[in-house]
Structure 1
Amino acid sequence: MLISGIAPLLVVRDVARSVSFYRRLGFEPAVEWAGYAKLTGGPGILHLAAGGEPPPDRPDVALVAPDASARAVAAAVVVQVDDCRAACADLVAAGVELLGEPVEPEWGGEVRAFLRDPDGHLIEINAAIRGG
């Protein structure tokens, strides 16, 4: 099997609200239908889908948005940027709330910051430290 890419799907409560949020992160809608949107950002693709009952091609597997108030998550979306601090400053100016200031973890090599989308999905803004 030759993989040509990976494109996560996030289950959301309100697709239009989530499209608006992800536009502030730099994503652009490529496709929007009732209950679904496909966004592009850089070389990546992000799918957003409203929760719902299982269709025939995935019986017994319903889509459910996460609990936005949960302190634990099962997965996160990492958004790679050239400059984490500058990207975060732009996001804060656009009204996005960060969970904390951008930091370089003790192991180094990157600067990262975290935020949650309107449904509670964890988003990491990440930039590799080049050189040095």
Structure 2
Amino acid sequence: MSTASSNPFEDSALTTILVVSDMAKSKKFYVDVLGARIFREYGGDSLVLEFLKSWILLVTPGGPTEDKPDIQFIPPEDKNTVSHSYTIRVKDCRKSYEILRDKGVDFITPPIDRGAETRCFFRDPDSHLFEISEYRASKLNV
């Protein structure tokens, strides 16, 4: 019987890779607008960010490599087709919306009240989708 842990991800962290078309523009957006912290930059085509206790790796487009021989890294081709998005849970959606809008973020709509949740969506420079969402416990759950 093995004494090794059965958790293959013990003491690990999850990093999301986003392919961006313009590293300088994306760096400015994530650092100056969203407040991400630069952890490491390398080669001019990769940027590791610490954001909301998570990791985001921004990379420029690239072709196959030895360890991923049939994989192409490309930014989103259609801003209205989503295969990945972020949700950021906030205390006050309308306040967060105002702060980000004042920093130049272009929202799809203003915050919409959906009962127990108020939310709105925006995109990064390459159309990766972000949601800010405020959840309020319903009166029935109080």
TM-score bin (small chain) = 0.7 to 0.9
Contact 2:41 2:47 in 1 (8 A): yes
Computed over aligned residues only, the root mean square deviation of the Cα atoms, in angstroms, reads 1.9
Of all paired residues, the percent bearing the same amino acid is 32
State the shift of 1:119 in Å: 0.7
Residue number among 75, 94, 109 corresponding to 1:65 in the alignment: 75
Q: Distance in 1 between matches of 2:68 and 2:100?
A: 36
Q: Which runs of 5+ in 2 are unaligned?
A: 1-6
The within-5 A match list for 1:1-132 is: 1-3=7-9, 4-23=12-31, 24-33=33-42, 34-67=44-77, 69-105=78-114, 108-130=115-137, 132=139
Q: What TM-score, normalized by structure 1, do the two folds share? A: 0.85
Q: Deviations along 1:57-111, whole A, 9 cap, x unmatched?
A: 11110101112x5322222122232222111110110111110011233xx4322
For residues 46 and 104 of structure 1, what CA distance do their matches in structure 2 show?
29
Greater mean deviation of Cα atoms: 92-101 or 51-60: 51-60
Task: Kindly state the Cα deviation for residue 2 of structure 1 after the two structures are TM-superposed.
Answer: 4.8
Aligned residues: 129
> Higher Cα Rg: structure 1 or 2?
2
User: Using the alignment, how far apart are the partners of 1:109 and 1:31 within structure 2?
Assistant: 39
The amino acid across from 1:11 in the alignment is V
Give me the whole-angstrom Cα distance separating, in 1, the residues matched to 2:8 and 2:93. Answer: 31
**Structure 1 CA distance, aligned partners of 2:99 and 2:113?**
19
* Unmatched tracts of structure 1, length 5 or more: none
